[in-house]
Amino acid sequence: MGTLAQSARDLAAGMSSRSLVEACLARILDKAGEGRRVFLKVHAEQARAAADYIDALRRHGAAPSRFAGIPVSVKDLFDMAGDVTTAGSVALRDAPAATRDAAVVARLRAAGFIPVGRTNMTEFAFSGVGLNPHYDTPRNPYDRATGRMPGGSSSGAAVSVADGMALGALGTDTGGSCRIPAALCGIVGYKPTARRIPTDGVLPLSFTLDSVGPLAPTVACCAALDAVMAGEEPDDLVPHRIDGLRLAAPQTMVLDDMEPAVADAYAEALSRLARAGAKIIGLPLAELNDIAILNRQGGFAAAEAYAWHRRLIATKAALYDPRVLARILRGKDQDATDYIDLIHARADLIRRVASISAQYDALIMPSVPIVAPPLASLETEERFRAVNLLVLRNTTVANVLDRCAISIPCHRGGDAPVGLMLVGEHGADRRLLAIAAGVEQIVSPELGKS
């Protein structure tokens, strides 16, 4: 996987954007049919035309940014002018095409990034597993012969980056949908503080919890994409020094049911950080157990998804993935008092955890407690439900607490991918990214080279 920084240097040295785009398009066609699972639509001709235009601008010293000409993928949840935003569904196939780009897509284009296509996803973004019965499910690049789950809901986004079909990906994260597939596919996934990046033109799952984030090869890549999407000028990310860093490691439910491969990789990551001078402080943080209580009736996602979907369900319920439909319909059973109670309970939890975590630089925990299981093992409804709850459990922490969070690979080369998650304070996005860049150098040193 090439980094954005390396591609920017190559472009500055004379490499053409057209060659980058052609390489990505070739991989989309070359991955033994995987491209058809990863992309619901490929914008080949538009991408080539955009690349030629950027190359002409660069020859005249007028490229809009140093990243201009770099190919990226866009999750099928974002409006792109002229495309129907189907959100991985067939229920929206006959919807009108978008007349304008989503705000973040427009910002990426303005900086010169080139969308090569729309990526597959869990239907309507409502699952952390990544299955899609309508368009087939992208296979995890690790052990593709077995056919393992990619994680979701930004499944195609993660696989597009891991397979070199794009150099970065635009995703969304409501309960872990950037970080889960990133962790399971061996790349970096970033969830910003929810209101940092506009969601205009993004089909909603939960307007309370939805956030827009990048998936990319490294922390620095994610930081650059995050800055552009937030309307900021991307700068060179300076890794935070590790010596003296105070990282709080919750000793609560986030460590339950860890598979041995995850437990070993997590323990090794903590050991490496401690040897580098970080102070790892174990915290009971039993307050996190309250998240399951908050979500016992489906939480914000079910209530707010049902509010958006109820009219579509009235006419097209039969076209929904039954697993997704069942989750949405949980919102039908919540009344106004349940929802108001949920708002107050969340605010109280945010206050209680903030009073404890404020003295630390970040929380640290496994992103996902398991490695990617074979898709064949998820065929029963009971097993699917159990795995979905398990992969969402740790990542949901940051969404409920309204914080920024990132998943960084921490496994040994050749092993099943494992993600290490850092959770920062509300609004402390650039600080968390700097800390993550420092941590990346310790727990995944080969990854962090740019």
Say how many CA atoms lie within 13 Å of 263 toward its Cβ.
6
Residue 266 and residue 301: Cα distance in Å, rounded? 29
Q: Which residue among 73, 153, 160, 206 is the active-site one?
A: 153
Q: Which residue among 89, 177, 407, 444 is the active-site one?
A: 177
Is 153 labeled as catalytic in the residue annotation?
A: yes
Report residue 414 as tokens. 């050749």
Is 355 labeled as catalytic in the residue annotation?
A: no
Is 367 labeled as catalytic in the residue annotation?
A: no
Q: Which residue among 75, 155, 357, 450 is the active-site one?
A: 75
Instruction: Give me the phi and psi of 270, to 5 degrees please.
Output: -65, -40
- Residues known to be catalytic: 75, 153, 177
